[in-house]
Homo-oligomer: A and B are copies of this chain.
């Protein structure tokens, strides 16, 4: 189905715009992703938007035409509108000329196949959507299986997280769970839980990492609760040569993940 929207007060515009808010995303089970590159990544990972919204003034592009065809074949909707309305939907000046509305994925722990990857990233109470998206992007780069969000994390389907993930929101598995759900799940199978820590920790270089290795990163301000750290199989410490005693959460996860990638020889 294809149609053109010209009015700011059109109900579809209002609906799409509402998806910038978490409560509406949760209620509707939908989220937005912007830009041809992201949408192409999504398509190549088997994820098609249910609705594709394009600026009338867009430049023609073969990948966009392929995407349109794929969305139409799958019974999705194609909407053409003005750049101003598109900006209103995404809340961003100079919006990308194409936006997709996707159904949210299953984010239960049960959906994860832990044997499918040697590295898994785990974030606890990670509040910044940019950090969350960056961790997804890092996970993609190190060949991680996915990102497990423990306790009250930012929403992986927020526009900011999707943007910062640079498409990895479509390539990485994502799960959401409380600590009390996560730990029994982890202990129900293979898996080494590793945290960056100052407590009874060994140097992160050359530490005895084992696959599947679950790298646990804590909240931006408070770090990990002590009992979470002590529940880990391995605590590692990174050099801190300056005044600070911690790194940005996404940075700490990445430095660790690259070390584990090297250690496991993958």
What is the interface of chain A, defined by CB distance below 8 A to chain B?
41, 44-45, 130, 134, 137-143, 164, 166-168, 171, 205, 238-244, 246-248, 250-251, 254-255, 258-259, 261-262, 266
Contacts and interface: CB of A to CB of B under 8 A. Distances in A.
A242 B134 contact: no
Counting chain B CB atoms within 10 Å of each CB, the highest count among A45, A242, A261 belongs to A242
A130 B133 CA distance: 14
Contacts of A246: 166
A169 to B, nearest CB: 12
Contacts of A41: 243
A50 to B, nearest CB: 22
8 contacts: A141-B239, A142-B241, A143-B239, A171-B242, A238-B258, A239-B261, A250-B251, A258-B259
Which 10 residue pairs are nearest across A and B when measured between Cβ atoms?
A143-B241, A140-B242, A251-B254, A134-B248, A255-B258, A140-B244, A141-B240, A171-B243, A141-B247, A254-B255
B138 A247 contact: yes
Contacts of A167: 243-244
A161 to B, nearest CB: 13
Contacts of A171: 242-243
